[in-house]
Amino acid sequence: MRTRQVKKGTGKKKKGRMIVCLIAVTAAVGGTLWFWNGTRQKTAKLEHITAITVTTQETYPAGEKLGEVKVTAEGVDEAGNQVIRELPTEEYVITPEQVPEHGHEFEITAALTEDEEIRAEATALIGREEVQRYEIGRQDPEAVQAVLYENGDLEIAGNGAVKNFKEHEIPWQEDGVLYLTWIDPAAEIERMDDWFSGNTDFVAMLCPVPDTVRSMVRTFYGCTAMEAVPEMGTAVYLEDLTACYSGSAVRDGGELPGNLRTAEEAYRDCKALVYAADASACVQLANMKNCYNGCTALSDTSTPDSVTNLQGAYQNCLNITRASIPSKAENLASAYSGCTGLTVVEGEIPASCTSMSGAFKDCKFLEGELTIHCTTQSLSGVFSGAAKNSHGLTVSLSWEGKTTDYQTEEEILGSLAESIEKQAKVDGSNITVKRIEQN
């Protein structure tokens, strides 16, 4: 019989080798588990996505196709575990596909292909090539600079007060600015007077008017390529809009800030303007002289009760049908002259109004009732050519002024009524005059 001789200690070595192998296998399995856990977030299939995150580059070149964007999803896998993984491109849609050609920054939106309500947004800067800088700081010229880019964008960057400029001394006036795209919140601008006046190529101000601005006289005067006004609601200290948009191509007057005091000629000859500016917040606006004069497409009016001067405010606005009279009006001369579509006037002409020559001249469809509280003995031409093609206008006159020893209230009202009736007869107008005598 053959026997196998076992050397002393062989069993212990064998046992030791088995322990080493077991440790190695355990380590390998542990390593595999660690690797699987480490990559599970990227590879696990999501049964239900609850949210997504979009990660962008800091800057994308203006006008080019949108570059790299990464979308990460958070949700639940088949086992009910919370998982985060990067989504393949076919599972989401990115907008916009192309970087805007103008602007300081833009918004990138990612939405799930299967559920567009699950979306995420991120903001990135628009990259452009700088071509010129203008030092415009008031105390320290270098502290605030206007930067012009090759695509016509202008931006204001820096910290501190900005210079005020005279007309025709704007530093970028002849350099082809197309857009005002960004104003540093730390830049303190008091006046934007004449900034883009006469620039027929200027298109838009893409940023809100800063809250430090007090005056925008002729800022966009004659900008015939400009179709939209900037956001003005943030300009809480803005007082003066004299001729700001006059002659431009704006279509909507926007929202006027509450502190505004003067809007003289603000939208004059804006032929494309359809909607008057929302002046409902304006409690100090007093001067609207020629504000909408020549806005032939204007379809409505917006006149705060605080206004005292409406001279020529809506003159030749052919498409307005209703008008209102402020309770403190002082000057209505030619206010609605040439408004051939005007039919209804709301409110009464107050005793404070001492000038109303030609106020409703050629308003041939004017009808209804209108009361005038008179303090002037001349109403010459107020209704010249008015109410010629209407169902009839009734004008009620009351005398609120002083009488004299040689002329009674009744005699004054009679003279005023006679002047209106005489003009109506010459024009062929359908106007009836009533006299309201004080008790």
Task: Please report the pLDDT score of residue 20 as a whole number.
Answer: 38
Q: Give the total number of structural domains in the chain.
A: 4
Residues 389-438 pLDDT 10s = 989 999 999 988 777 667 788 888 888 899 999 999 999 999 999 988 76
Within 8 A by CB and 6+ apart from 377, the residues are 401, 412, 415, 416
What is the C-alpha to C-alpha distance for residues 376 and 200, in angstroms, rounded to an integer?
A: 45
Residues 254-282 pLDDT 10s = 999 999 999 999 999 999 999 999 999 99
**What is the extent of the structural domain holding 401?**
321-439
Q: Are residues 309 and 352 in the same domain?
A: no
Asked if 121 and 109 count as a contact pair (C-beta separation under 8 A), the reply is yes
Does residue 240 sit within a domain? yes
Using alpha carbons, list the distances in angstroms from residue 144 to 131, 150, 189, 216, 234. Answer: 17, 20, 10, 19, 21
Q: Are residues 329 and 426 in the same domain?
A: yes
Q: Are residues 109 and 145 in the same domain?
A: no
Q: Are residues 81 and 113 in the same domain?
A: yes
Does residue 37 sit within a domain? no
Choose the final residue of a domain: 313, 330, 357.
313
Q: Quick check: helix, strand or coil at residue 324?
A: strand
Does residue 23 sit within a domain? no
Give the domain CATH number at 72: 2.60.40
Residue 41 in this model has a pLDDT that exceeds 50: no
Q: Are residues 120 and 143 in the same domain?
A: no
Q: What percent of the chain has pLDDT over 70?
A: 88
CA 89 and chain centroid, separation: 36
What is the C-alpha to C-alpha distance for residues 244 and 256, in angstroms, rounded to an integer?
A: 12
What is the C-alpha to C-alpha distance for residues 420 and 415, in angstroms, rounded to an integer?
A: 9
Choose the final residue of a domain: 313, 340, 373.
313
Task: Please report the pLDDT score of residue 27 as a whole number.
Answer: 41
Choose the final residue of a domain: 313, 341, 358.
313
pLDDT tier at 365, thresholds 50, 70, 90: very high
Q: Are residues 331 and 436 in the same domain?
A: yes
Residues 61-81 pLDDT 10s = 999 999 999 999 998 887 788
Q: Are residues 114 and 155 in the same domain?
A: no
In the DSSP assignment, the letter for residue 58 is: S
64-68, 80-84, 105-109: segment of lowest average pLDDT: 80-84
Does residue 93 sit within a domain? yes
Tokens 């309500």 appear where? 117
pLDDT tier at 45, thresholds 50, 70, 90: low
Q: Are residues 340 and 242 in the same domain?
A: no
pTM: 0.85
Q: Are residues 308 and 273 in the same domain?
A: yes
Q: Are residues 301 and 393 in the same domain?
A: no
pLDDT tier at 331, thresholds 50, 70, 90: very high
